[in-house]
Amino acid sequence: MTRRLNRICLLALLAAVLAATTAAQQAKPIANWVNLNQLVAGSEIRVTLATGKTMRGFVQRVTAESLAINATTSQEMLSRQDIRRVELKKPGHRGRNTLIGLAIGTGAGLAIGAGVDAKSGPGVMFPDLGKVVFSSAGVLLGALPTGGWRDVFRAP
């Protein structure tokens, strides 16, 4: 019974860590058009229009009433009232961040697994099962990609 309770607690802990990581990665919406002035010409952006269409391209120019981008196939001048959301592509540190996450996840999983294995009694069929399972789970959680897109503007 105690072993089962320990496993449930450890799984709850892993779920809480995953939920906290996901919550930390979510960006808060920004409803101020002036924030687009921080965009540097050539920055990669993704624009969602009022029609639901999404465009990807590079910033060309921002004015008080419009946004000019170099889209994949053409140059587009988008009116402020037609834009619902603008997102900026985050810098690419995915490889480095993934390696750091793998190392932390493996270490944490190995430590949790060692604790579980230490509590198991004699005659257990797989004495290192905790270390194998939890370090593997840590590797998978640590390998979740980082980066992506950050909200710069979202219409109210």
- Examine residue 156 and state whether it is found in any structural domain, yes or no: no
* Same domain membership, residue 142 and residue 99: yes
Same domain for 134 and 107: yes
Instruction: Give percent above pLDDT 70 in the chain.
Output: 62
pLDDT at 25 over 70: no
Q: The tokens of 8 are what? A: 């449930």
Same domain? For 81 and 51 the reply is yes
Residue with tokens 């004495």: 127
Q: Is 6 exposed, middle or buried (0-12, 13-18, 19+ CB in 10 A)?
A: middle
> Is residue 37 located within the same domain as residue 79?
yes
**Which one has a higher pLDDT value, 65 or 144?**
65
Which of 89, 108, 129 is the last residue in one of the domains?
Answer: 89
Does the residue 152 lie in any domain?
no
CA 35 vs. chain centroid, Å, equals 22
In a domain, 154, yes or no: no
Q: Which of 60, 59, 63, 57 is nearest to 79 (CA)?
A: 63
Domain count, the chain: 2
More confident residue, 22 or 36: 36
pLDDT at 15: 59
Which range marks the domain in which residue 15 is found?
A: 2-26+94-147
- This prediction has a pTM of 0.54
pLDDT at 94: 65
Q: What is the pLDDT at residue 85?
A: 95
73-130 pLDDT, tens per residue? 889 999 999 999 999 998 766 677 777 777 777 777 777 777 776 776 666 666 676 6
User: Do 99 and 120 lie in a common domain?
Assistant: yes
Residues 48 and 72 in one domain: yes
CATH number at residue 74: 2.30.30.100
Q: Give the residue with greater pLDDT, 31 vs 6.
A: 31
